[in-house]
Every structure is written in structure tokens, then in C-alpha cells.
């Protein structure tokens, strides 16, 4: 159970490292949402494995962060929507419809990010994290971190 909890936390941290900056940046200037949140999320994937017990999980942290961005995207955009002029829920039926949308999270994240102005950032972080995972697996990225 400990490993499952650890991977779930990596997924949640990855989602938070992308979507919290995305929500805050969209309040300031929407075009900045294509660059700033991916930089923060990538920095999370770079810095966390450099600390203690997380060093052996570099590829896992990267892929969990990517899963978190896609899995929690509809929820984050739903929360950020009212801040940029949208509405949250007007009835229980809207909540049920949101749950259906959330279950189709890869497609719904893509579609909802198109309307929220986050599509460029989602595409950029997806490409960056996939390339990072491949580079880590192939040994193209070597960290000079001493293990504890």
C-alpha cells in the first residue's frame, strides 16, 4: 500500500504543479498559460528526483506527473472556469454531466483545454515529459547526484 500511495502522490503533485500555476496565470494573461505552467511542472519533474528516496523513481515521477496533468485537467479547468467568467454548477444534473466528462479524461482534457486557453501548455508539457521519460530510459540524461 505504501508504493501505491507514493505513486498517487506523485500524480497529484504533478497535477498541482501544472494546474495551480495555470489557474493563477490565466487570471493575469491567458497567452502566458502556454509557457509558465509547463516550466513549473517540468521543474517539479527535474527537482523532486534529486532528493533522497525519490532518486530511483525518475521515470515514474515523470510519467505520474504526465498522468496527473491529464487526469486532473477537467477538474482544474472546472475550478478555474468561474475565475475567468464561467459558471460552476447550476444543478445536480451538471455535476453528473461533469462526472461523465471526467471519466473520459484524455479526450475531455484536450477539449476543455482548447476552450480555456491551456491547449498550448498541455501539448507542450505532454511532449516535454514524454521526451524526458524516453531520454531517462535511454540513458541520454545523467544526473550527477550522489545517493544518500
Structure confidence at residue 148 (pLDDT) = 43
Is residue 68 assigned to a domain? yes
- Under the banding of pLDDT at 50, 70 and 90, the label for residue 101 is confident
In the predicted structure, residue 147 carries a pLDDT above the cut 60: no
Is residue 11 assigned to a domain? yes
Alpha-carbon span 58 to 12, nearest angstrom: 16
DSSP, res 112: H
Alpha-carbon span 148 to 141, nearest angstrom: 20
Is residue 147 assigned to a domain? no
Average pLDDT over residues 62-78: 92
Is residue 146 assigned to a domain? no
Is residue 148 assigned to a domain? no
Is residue 8 assigned to a domain? yes
Q: pTM (2 decimals)?
A: 0.85
Structure confidence at residue 102 (pLDDT) = 85
Is residue 60 assigned to a domain? yes
Structure confidence at residue 49 (pLDDT) = 77
Q: Which of 71, 70, 85 is nearest to 116 (CA)?
A: 85
Could you tell me if 80 and 116 are in contact, meaning their C-beta atoms sit under 8 angstroms apart? yes
Is residue 101 assigned to a domain? yes
Structure confidence at residue 82 (pLDDT) = 75
- The domain total for the chain is 1
In the predicted structure, residue 93 carries a pLDDT above the cut 80: no
Domain with 30 in it: 2-138
- Under the banding of pLDDT at 50, 70 and 90, the label for residue 63 is very high
Structure confidence at residue 117 (pLDDT) = 83
Residue 26: count other Cβ atoms within 10 Å of its Cβ: 22
Widest pairwise Cα distance in the chain:
54
DSSP, res 148: -
Average pLDDT over residues 31-53: 86
The top-scoring range by mean pLDDT among 17-26, 51-60, 86-95 is: 17-26
Structure confidence at residue 144 (pLDDT) = 53
Structure confidence at residue 89 (pLDDT) = 66
Which H or E run includes 142? none
Amino acid at each position: 500500500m505504501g508504493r501505491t500511495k507514493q505513486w498517487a502522490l506523485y500524480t497529484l503533485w504533478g497535477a498541482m504543479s501544472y494546474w495551480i500555476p495555470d489557474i493563477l496565470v490565466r487570471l493575469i494573461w491567458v497567452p502566458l498559460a502556454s509557457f509558465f505552467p509547463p516550466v513549473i511542472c517540468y521543474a517539479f519533474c527535474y527537482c523532486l528526483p534529486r532528493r533522497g528516496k525519490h532518486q530511483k523513481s525518475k521515470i515514474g515521477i515523470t510519467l505520474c506527473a504526465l498522468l496527473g496533468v491529464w487526469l486532473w485537467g477537467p477538474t482544474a479547468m472546472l475550478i478555474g472556469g468561474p475565475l475567468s467568467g464561467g459558471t460552476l454548477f447550476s444543478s445536480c444534473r451538471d455535476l453528473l454531466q461533469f462526472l461523465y466528462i471526467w471519466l473520459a479524461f484524455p479526450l475531455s482534457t484536450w477539449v476543455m483545454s482548447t476552450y480555456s486557453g491551456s491547449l498550448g501548455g498541455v501539448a507542450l508539457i505532454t511532449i516535454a515529459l514524454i521526451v524526458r521519460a524516453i531520454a531517462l530510459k535511454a540513458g541520454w540524461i545523467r544526473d550527477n547526484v550522489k545517493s544518500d
